[in-house]
Each structure stands twice: as C-alpha cells, then as structure tokens.
Chain A
Amino acid sequence: MAQIVITGNRLHDGAVVWREPDGTWSHDIANAAIYPSEAQLADGLDAGRLEEAEGRIIGVYEVELDAGESRVAPVRLRERIRADGPTVSVG
C-alpha cells in the first residue's frame, strides 16, 4: 500500500491541517500519521469525518505521499502547495 496521510481544513480559519497519530491536527505534514494499511486508514478517515461532523474540520480526505522523497511530501503538486504554502511571495 502507498503511504497515505489524512488532511482537511480547520473550520475557524480554513488552515490546512494534517491528522497526527494521537488524533490531533497539525499544521506540519511532518507530524502527520502515516497509515500503513487500508484498515488503519479507514479507521483514521472515520475518526476524521467524525470531527468533520462535529464541526471542527472541513473536507477530510486522504493524500498519497511520494515514497521517493526523503521528507514527508505528497505526490500531487496541489497537496505539496497545501503542505508548504504558496510557491510565490505573499503580500
């Protein structure tokens, strides 16, 4: 199975967050729980969606990591930009 992490956006400010092993949410993808099996991923998504239903997190979904990277980094550019921020200077 590919390496997978779980993400969403925080309700009150829309910030990108990543689900940690203890079920809390981090701004830093390096802290994200990496799910080694389909069953554990399903459990993680269920827990994330429960928090979504409770209104703390929006749009929980899974993101595949790039196994060729030395750091924790998504495969898709969209998710890399979500993890690292815009590639252009802001403001």
Chain B
Amino acid sequence: MYAYDSLDETLVRERAVQFRDQVGRRVSGELSEDEFKPLRLRNGLYLQLHAYMLRVAIPYGLLSSDQLRALARIARRYDRDYGHFTTRQNIQFNWIKLADAPDILDELAEAGMHAIQTSGNCIRNTTTDQFAGVAADEIEDPRPWAEIIRQWSTLHPEFSFLPRKFKVAINGSPNDRAAIAVHDIGLSMLHGPTGETGFRVWVGGGLGRTPMIAEEIRGFLPANDLLSYLEAILRVYNIEGRRDNLYKSRIKILVSALGIERFRELVEAEWAEIRDSSLRLDEAEVSRIRAQFAPPAYEVVDSGLFAAKRIEDTAFARWAARNLFPHKQPGHAAVTVSLKPIGGVPGDMSADQMEALADLADEYSYGEIRVAHRQNLVLAHVPQSRLYDLWRALDSLGLATPNLLRVTDIVACPGLDFCGLATARSIPVAQRLSERLAEIDDRHDLRELTINISGCINSCAHHHVGHIGILGLEKSGKESYQVTLGGSSAEDAAIGKIVGRGFGADEIVAAIETIVVTWLELRQGDERFLDSLRRIGQEPFRAALYGTG
C-alpha cells in the first residue's frame, strides 16, 4: 500500500503544529468561534450535539494494521472506546474534547494519517471499490489513480474554496462498487481501442436535497490526461457554480442548469488550454505510484481444507457464501468483516475489535484492511486454506455476521442521536429493523436487498440509492420516516421513488416489514427485491402499505 513520502509526512506534521497553535489561540480567547470554526473544520473537527466529532481521512479506505491500531488507541485514549466508520470510507470519533484534538492529530501524523479535507468546500476523500486490486472482474486497479488524485487535490490552492464540497469516486470494474453515478465526478476505468488504459468520466451526480444520476461527459479519457481533465471540470465549476444559494451550489445543479452539452463545451475548451501542461501524467511517476499498490507475494495454497470445512460446518458455509468475494489470485478470497451485527449500530467498532482485527490482518491478510462505503471492513488477501480459522476468530469477536448486501447490512448515518444537522434518529431504526428482518431473511433467503437510512435530507447514508431507502424528517415536532423504493448505486444506478406518505417512529419498522412480506408473495423464483420491483412497480407495495390499491 502507499507509504507517505517526506513531503506527506512534513505536511501532516506541520498541519498538526498549526492546529495546536490555533486551538491555543481559541482557548485563550484570541480567536472567536467565527474565526476558529473554519480552521477546525479544515481539520475535520465538527461540533455535534454532545461533543466535538473528529472525522479522520482514510484515503480510498485503505489502512495498514498499524494504522488501525493507532485508531484503536485514539478511541481508547480520547473517545469512549469506539469509532464509527462512514459511507465515505473514513472514521469518525464522536466524543472528542477540543483540548485533545492537537494531540490526536499528532498521533495520527505519527501513523501517517490526518483529518485534512474531511470537511469544508474542497475536494474530499476519493473513494473506490473496497475490492480494488483483487477483484476477479477488475479491468485495472483504480487505487493508484485515487492516490494520484489525492496528491493533486491535497491543499490544491485553486480548489480550497469551491462553491461547495466535491466528491470523486473511481471504479476499476464493469460492476460498479464505488457508486460513481452519484458522485460529483465518477470515473470508470476501461481500455481504449488500442488497449490503453483510460476512464469513462461522469459528472453531476449526487444525493442530498436534489438527487441526480451523473451524466457521461467523456466516453474515453486517456489515463495520462486524468489530472488536466479533472482540473478543467473543477475550474469550470469553481467559476460558474452558484455561491448565492447553499442548496444550489453543488456541481449537479450547474450541470443540470447548463445542460450536459454546454457544460461539456466549457470543460473541453478549458481542457484544450491545459491538456499539454505539466498536469499531463508522466509514465514513470505513474509507474512509481502503481508499484506501491503491487499485490503481496501470494503463497501457493491448497484449497482442499476450505472445501471440506464448507461441507462440515453449515454456519461457516453460510458465511463463506455471503461474505467472500471472488479473488483474482487463485486460492484466495476477499473477506468482508461485517460491522452490522444483528441489532447493533451500523459501522461502529470497539477499540478492542480494532486491535484484534489488526492482529488478524497481520496473520491472514498481509497486514492490510479496507473500509467499504457500506460501513464494513475488508481483509482482501486471505488464502482459502485459512478462511475457516479466520472465520472462527472473527466470530469470537462478533465480526462474522453473514450479511453482506443483505437486508441486515443496513447503512445508517449517526442521525439525531449524535449529529447536529439531523432531523430524526437513524440508528435505533436500523437496530429494530435488523432484529425484525434477520428472522425473515433466515426463513426466506431474501438475497440482495439493501436498506439505507439517513437522518436528514443531506443523505449521508445514501438513502436515495438503497433498494429500500428511509429518510428521517421532523414533522410537527415528531419523527417521520419517508420510504423510497428502487434505488441503486451499482451499474444500474437509480434514485428511489417515494412510495407514499411517511411513517412515525413507531410505524416505520412494521412498514418495512410489510414491504418485504408483500414482495415475498410476489417474488418469482429467486428474484432480487430490486428485480421484482422493476417488474411489478410500486403499486402492490402502496396497496399493502396504505390500502389504496
């Protein structure tokens, strides 16, 4: 995995020193809150309902075992013994004291980590497929390109005060596991006519108040032109994007207002000016970065034990069927470590679990951990012969729930229990749904059925692209949950449609159960929920929920 060079190290250490000074000036009264707030946000420090929340960057979701141990130490020393993994492949600590924040940044810097650009109107953490570099269906590993984007975008002076925050996702497979269609810029890797690597470029996707699927701006972009093209898009957005209305300031609004044709013209004109500049990527530099993502020296393994254990132990077989992902290296698998125990808090992980998983990563997966945007973790390089032992170890830690992409693999934001922006709670709804639906999944094998729950219109849990989406709002002083059906963040990306009037906090779990039970009656063969919905439409669900027929 990518290791910081001296430039990176200097930058994060200097930032920690600067922030210590800024905190000192705030505590002494030299800086007002209005002066200090933009500075703390630039270091990922938010003030939430009960305390400060620190969001730590995990570039493209990739962690070393030592970095996970560092996060565990921070959780134990400065928080309440846990952290919360997010849909942006980052981690948040919910109970931070302002006075401790400089020490935390120092500890992060020591581990090659930071909290820069995890907030503010800048280019945020570039996200990617959690199976990047190992997926059997992959065209090319997108992580070196995500790293190149990280280096280019870090403290980019021109793009530090954009009209609004800006999110890029990159996927290296025809199967989209990075939700590129709902990002400001989505990049999909492909090979050109002569076999050269490039990108299909999408722009103007997003969720929040105005959900939109991105539009294709370029069918093929040669890889060495990546940065100049991104810079052209960002420059047009920075100049033309709205700054007068917070709710209309994302690039999706600009693309929609201008139309993709006109937006493309502006970008192409800008690109023509800068394409042959120093932004063109040098093959030697790309190779240098690519080499840092070289696969580990895989051992030749005998998979006989894996096959035998699947026959012997049905619980292991079920976990293996659900939580393993096909690996390009024969005899290996990528393992999803579920952070969705039945009835648990989605994405939460205790310090003890972090340390234990770091040890397991060293023992079974070359010391590497990935964060998935569905708030799970991944051990990406596990020999099949060792899967049974790993599963037993994960099970003893409460990390082996067999539910990847299933109805209990619920994505949920912190919601009103923690977040200053939230209008309703997310976590308790997720917990009750998980408990109720686990039993139905056991009986009926619901296959792939995703549920995403956001506690406000900002959509941090991506409810618009859940097969079933739930949006928590406050109506007449009470929590009200709006349900959408038919969303997808995959290659068949779609924004879910509202099914009807919202449900109260005491009604929402039963309403979702009604949807699932109704689907089971209408399901043909082993159809997924999404496929059934596309075949039969929303009407049967409306009738079941509201009796409107």
- Whether chain B is bound by chain A comes out as yes
B428 at the interface (CB under 8 A from A): yes
**Residues in chain B near residue A81, CB distance under 8 A:** 49, 416-417
- Minimal beta-carbon separation of A18 from chain B (angstroms): 13
Measured CA separation A13–B45 after assembly (Å) = 12
Chain A positions within 8 Å of B, measured between CB atoms, are 9, 11-16, 52-55, 58-59, 75-78, 81-82, 85-91
Chain B positions within 8 Å of A, measured between CB atoms, are 26-29, 32-33, 47-52, 80-82, 94-99, 345, 348, 350, 416-418, 422, 425, 427-428, 431, 474, 477-479
* Inter-subunit contact B416/A78 (CB<8 Å): yes
Measured CA separation A90–B53 after assembly (Å) = 14
* Inter-subunit contact B417/A88 (CB<8 Å): yes
Q: Which of A54, A75, A85, A91 contacts B50 (CB 8 A)?
A: A85
* Inter-subunit contact A86/B29 (CB<8 Å): no
* Inter-subunit contact B27/A86 (CB<8 Å): no
- Minimal beta-carbon separation of B200 from chain A (angstroms): 41
* Inter-subunit contact A13/B479 (CB<8 Å): no
**Residues in chain A near residue B48, CB distance under 8 A:** 14
| Complex: chain A residue closest to B100, CB-CB | A13
Known: A77-B479, A91-B82. A13 touches B98 (CB 8 A): yes
Q: Which 10 A-B pairs have the closest CB atoms?
A: A86-B417, A13-B97, A14-B51, A91-B82, A55-B29, A14-B52, A91-B80, A88-B427, A91-B81, A82-B49
* Inter-subunit contact B33/A52 (CB<8 Å): yes
Measured CA separation A58–B27 after assembly (Å) = 12
**Residues in chain A near residue B27, CB distance under 8 A:** 11-12, 55
**Residues in chain A near residue B95, CB distance under 8 A:** 90
A-B CB contact pairs (8 Å), 20 listed: A9-B47, A11-B33, A12-B99, A13-B51, A13-B98, A14-B48, A14-B98, A55-B27, A55-B29, A58-B33, A76-B474, A82-B49, A82-B50, A85-B50, A88-B425, A88-B431, A90-B94, A91-B80, A91-B81, A91-B82
Residue of B49, B51, B80, B81 ringed by the most chain A CB atoms within 10 A: B49
Measured CA separation A78–B417 after assembly (Å) = 8
Measured CA separation A24–B533 after assembly (Å) = 58
Measured CA separation A76–B99 after assembly (Å) = 30
Measured CA separation A53–B34 after assembly (Å) = 10
Measured CA separation A85–B98 after assembly (Å) = 19
**Residues in chain B near residue A86, CB distance under 8 A:** 50, 417-418
Q: Which of B26, B96, B417 contacts A87 (CB 8 A)?
A: B417
- Minimal beta-carbon separation of B353 from chain A (angstroms): 11
Measured CA separation A12–B28 after assembly (Å) = 11
- Minimal beta-carbon separation of B225 from chain A (angstroms): 45
* Inter-subunit contact A11/B98 (CB<8 Å): yes
Measured CA separation A81–B418 after assembly (Å) = 8
Measured CA separation A16–B418 after assembly (Å) = 12
Measured CA separation A90–B98 after assembly (Å) = 20
Measured CA separation A91–B474 after assembly (Å) = 26
Measured CA separation A11–B28 after assembly (Å) = 11
| Complex: chain A residue closest to B51, CB-CB | A14
- Minimal beta-carbon separation of B28 from chain A (angstroms): 8
**Residues in chain A near residue B82, CB distance under 8 A:** 90-91
* Inter-subunit contact B51/A76 (CB<8 Å): no
**Residues in chain A near residue B94, CB distance under 8 A:** 90
A77-B425, A81-B416, A86-B418 known, 16 other contacts, Cβ within 8 Å: A9-B47, A12-B27, A13-B98, A14-B48, A14-B96, A16-B49, A55-B26, A55-B27, A58-B33, A58-B47, A81-B417, A87-B425, A88-B417, A88-B427, A88-B428, A90-B95
**Residues in chain B near residue A9, CB distance under 8 A:** 47
Measured CA separation A89–B94 after assembly (Å) = 13
Q: Which of B33, B80, B425, B479 contacts A90 (CB 8 A)?
A: B80
- Minimal beta-carbon separation of A73 from chain B (angstroms): 13
**Residues in chain A near residue B478, CB distance under 8 A:** 77
* Inter-subunit contact B428/A54 (CB<8 Å): no
**Residues in chain B near residue A59, CB distance under 8 A:** 33, 47
Known: A55-B29, A82-B49, A88-B431. A13 touches B417 (CB 8 A): no
- Minimal beta-carbon separation of A5 from chain B (angstroms): 16
Measured CA separation A15–B32 after assembly (Å) = 18
**Residues in chain B near residue A14, CB distance under 8 A:** 47-48, 50-52, 96-98
**Residues in chain B near residue A16, CB distance under 8 A:** 49-50
**Residues in chain B near residue A89, CB distance under 8 A:** 345
Measured CA separation A54–B348 after assembly (Å) = 36
- Minimal beta-carbon separation of A53 from chain B (angstroms): 8
**Residues in chain B near residue A53, CB distance under 8 A:** 32
* Inter-subunit contact B97/A91 (CB<8 Å): no
- Minimal beta-carbon separation of B104 from chain A (angstroms): 13
- Minimal beta-carbon separation of B424 from chain A (angstroms): 8
**Residues in chain A near residue B97, CB distance under 8 A:** 12-14
* Inter-subunit contact A91/B26 (CB<8 Å): no
Measured CA separation A77–B33 after assembly (Å) = 26
* Inter-subunit contact B47/A15 (CB<8 Å): no
| Complex: chain B residue closest to A80, CB-CB | B416
Q: Which of B32, B81, B99 contacts A13 (CB 8 A)?
A: B99
- Minimal beta-carbon separation of A90 from chain B (angstroms): 6
- Minimal beta-carbon separation of B31 from chain A (angstroms): 8
* Inter-subunit contact A77/B416 (CB<8 Å): yes
- Minimal beta-carbon separation of B45 from chain A (angstroms): 9
Residue of A15, A59, A82, A91 ringed by the most chain B CB atoms within 10 A: A91
Known: A12-B27, A12-B98, A14-B97. A87 touches B428 (CB 8 A): yes
**Residues in chain A near residue B32, CB distance under 8 A:** 53, 55
| Complex: chain A residue closest to B29, CB-CB | A55
Measured CA separation A87–B427 after assembly (Å) = 9
**Residues in chain B near residue A12, CB distance under 8 A:** 27, 97-99
